[in-house]
Chain A
Amino acid sequence: MTDKIFQEKVGPVALTIVPTQKYKSNKIVFKFRAPLERETVTKRALLSILLETNSKKYPTQTDFRKQLANLYGANFYTTTAKKGNEHVLTVIFDMIDGQYVSDGNHILEDAFAFIEEALFHPNVANGAFNEETLAREKENLKSSLEGIYDDKIRFASKRLIEEMFRDDAFRFGSAGILEDIDAITAKDLYEYYLQFIAEDTVEIFICGDVTKEEVMPLIEKMAFAPRADRKGVFYTKEAPKEVRVIHEQQAINQGKLVLGYQTDTLFGDEDFVALQLANGLLGGFANSKIFINVREKASLAYYASSRIDSFKGYMVISAGIDEVNYEQALSIIEEQVVAMKQGDFTEDELNQTKEMLINQLLETNDQAQGLIELVYNNVLREANLDLENWIAKIKQATKEEVVAAINKIKPDTIYFLSKGGEELHGKNNI
């Protein structure tokens, strides 16, 4: 069913190859991780931008991008993400397979040469990053963080996370902290870069029509220093004794309601698959309880759904509603959670959700990025949920297990962003 993967240590870094001929391209992914901390998160965010902007050999972003265009429009970019209390900086290189173009013989070597240049030879002089580049990218990062305010759905989820995890580093976004940007100098950042490249835990993934014989020498050539193995930091937070309710106001048309729960279940845990199924039944799919009752029956919302974060162990339910319908929407949602806890769903509904979940998993099998993330999640949690195993677990899960998993969830925070009409004022505000 799935392609056979190859995993091996190459010096201090771990390599995974997912060999397959079904794509027209090869995807090369480097994942760097370190603990999520205020001290480093903004530096890492800036670093991720600088690494995809220019380098010593390609000192302007046009030089840099021209080389990528030359490599048949290869895509090179970085992202940042949180996996529990790990900060993951991902470097992605995506490029056409050599067989589809006339001069494609050296394409893999060229790709690695470019990545090596970008990672190990940043645009640095006299022990500091290029001042001009850094100044500009600091401004761009500020704009991008300020821009979260402009996307109200995203803004509301961000506020919920800040409130739910206000005593935990998880409250910081992986893209850095606005107030911390100004203080970072070109010298500070270079010093941090040296630490990053020497100490981060590195995992490399390659998906495409490649062999380990081709790839391993290319990785061995890279100057990764020896480093200690470090396990990831994953823990769940306890829910507060009393649910916190927070209402905030902005001049918007539609109210954004987000509810946060603590789940106490992480990827690879015994009851992880059961919680996934519970989430599917509750609000994960278009035939879930929340979608049907909030949208289809009561016509209160266009979007209404739930999702779980299985590296931090929380669940979020969100819906876009008219402010006047706040109480009604909230009580319908809460009723659905209670119904789930009481096991108010049929075997048929459970089977349907199993089918949907299996389908979703098999679809990730068709995307190189999906395959890579799947392997990485298992690496992080030292779990054994490859597709086959995962699907088998879904099939075996019983109604009792699903009910037990959802009974572990505890409400933490209710956040509502709206224009603030009369109905809400003075009520529930804390």
Chain B
Amino acid sequence: MEKITFEQVKEAVYHEKMANGLQVYLLPKQGFSKTYAVFTTNYGAIDNNFVPIGETEFTKVPDGIAHFLEHKMFEKEDGDVFFKFGEKGAFTNAFTSFTKTAYLFSSTSRVEENLETLIDFVQEPYFTEETVEKEKGIIGQEIRMYDDDPDFRAYFGVIENMYHNHPVKIDIAGTVESIAEINKDLLYLCYNTFYHPSNMVLFVVGNLEPEQMMNQIRANQAKKEFAEAAPIKRHFPEEPKTVAVKERKIHFPVQIAKNLVGIKEDIGSLEGQAALKQEIIGDVALEMLFGTTSDTYLKLYNEGIIDDTFGYDYTLQDSFSFVLVGGDAKDPDKQTAKIKEAIQAAAKSGLDEADLALVKRKRIGQFLRSLNSPEFIANQFSQYVMKSASLFDILPLMENVTLEEVNSFVKNLDQEERTTSFQLLPEQ
């Protein structure tokens, strides 16, 4: 077990890689009542074409299967895992993103037992045809709930516009039709390939004693047998650099239009520190361009073109990355035009040094504040481990961002053929 200390933020993390490849991180938090644990696999909605463990050929699986698998992990031969946690006063949940699936609990007592339950339920799959069929009704309702959610529809609408082939364009939960094809054998196939310990990270934060907890995890893992770890082969279709659709408008039962501009990046695949650095530069550049202290924000806000729903998002993953800017709009065409104009102007004349200093100061304070949240630390740290980077490197990297770097990020956004817009308009 190694101890990694982060002086600036007054935190320390204990780390060990288990013999089976599982990465474990423990972060004690003084004075906290609760312990929060998250067990993450590097497997999400986009991993739909891969070579199953022990095989040699690529297999394509139905859309929405990673999310379906997440739901089904909770059901065991002796009942629902929700009960097992409930009996010990713990709260449990799980989530599936484009690239990750994570299982979590938090509790203020009986942490050892709850941790055992978490590790065991994620490492012991139990699927039957009957329970798989029953889940289709529940997930069908989850899909319908999102179908009625305008923000969610706008988000996927603009991603569909950007991508020709990449599976990021598919809804994480799939469709009622695609999940109909899921059966227990397919679930086991995905499970065995992606839930190997060497593809997973366990992070525990809060009221804990590191030596004792690491012993518990070692003992738990030593009892179990797994196949030999092997690198996972994933296939992603060839994706053109340009957007698939330049502009799309659909009508929806909303009162106010939702508008999003999407810009597909062309930066290739980044790893480790380089990816983290790129993410920070992007965030700083976008905050300088569109944040609440920017001139653009003030101008557009005062003209009624944007309101406080206006914002941006930068998503950077191994096989895709994009920028989204937008919000509610009284005149969505005008909002889109103004967003593009702001990018063009900044790409031409460059951003301001004083603004950079201000935005960095703001972000440093915000980052430090977010370390009050055990959930934030555990979820973010786990994600960065899988990108071979460290959450606490954000601070020094942020301090070192240069004007040249943010300007070059903005220049790269000013590309008409990589830009799209999506609008959800009120029904006429």
Contacts and interface: CB of A to CB of B under 8 A. Distances in A.
Given A146-B256, A149-B255, A302 B307 contact: no
Closest A-B pairs by Cβ, 9 of them:
A72-B365, A299-B137, A355-B89, A22-B31, A73-B365, A73-B362, A362-B108, A69-B362, A302-B142
Interface string A133-163: 0001001100110110111110000000000
Contacts, number: 193
Interface string A61-95: 11001101111111100000000000000000011
B26 interface: no
A20 B29 CA distance: 13
A66 B254 CA distance: 34
A117 interface: no
Interface string A318-345: 0011100000000000000000000000
A429 interface: no
Interface string B403-420: 000000000000000000
Interface string B303-339: 0100110000000000000000000101000000000
B86 interface: yes
Contacts of A363: 33-34, 91, 106, 108
Contacts of A61: 292, 298, 301
B302 A150 contact: no
Contacts of B139: 302
Given A62-B297, A70-B361, A146-B255, 11 more contacts: A73-B364, A94-B369, A143-B256, A143-B307, A149-B253, A285-B86, A355-B89, A356-B89, A359-B108, A359-B109, A366-B33
A79 B361 CA distance: 26
Nearest to B32: A366
A356 B148 contact: no
Interface residues of B, number: 68
21 contacts: A60-B298, A61-B301, A62-B293, A65-B293, A66-B293, A72-B364, A73-B361, A136-B304, A140-B307, A150-B150, A150-B256, A153-B145, A251-B253, A286-B92, A321-B141, A322-B141, A352-B89, A355-B109, A359-B89, A362-B34, A367-B372
A254 B92 CA distance: 26
B392 to A, nearest CB: 13
B135 to A, nearest CB: 8
Nearest to A297: B134
Contact of A359 (B91, B293, B302, B372): B91
B253 A252 contact: yes
A360 interface: yes
Residue from B136, B145, B148, B307 having most chain A Cβ neighbours under 10 A = B148
B144 interface: yes
B308 A140 contact: yes
A241 to B, nearest CB: 34
A22 B32 contact: yes
Interface string B345-364: 00000000000001101111
Given A25-B369, A101-B364, A366-B33, A300 B137 contact: yes
B231 to A, nearest CB: 36
Contacts of A65: 292-293
Given A72-B365, A366-B374, A300 B141 contact: yes
Contacts of B369: 24-25, 73, 75, 94-96
B212 interface: no
A336 B323 CA distance: 47
Interface in B365-397: 365-366, 368-369, 371-372, 374
B83 interface: yes
A22 B372 CA distance: 8
A126 interface: no
A236 interface: no
A147 B365 contact: no
B229 interface: no
A189 to B, nearest CB: 19
B129 to A, nearest CB: 15
A253 B153 CA distance: 13
Given A61-B298, A363-B106, A352 B365 contact: no
B138 interface: yes
Given A254-B148, A320-B144, A73 B138 contact: no
B271 interface: no
Nearest to B31: A22
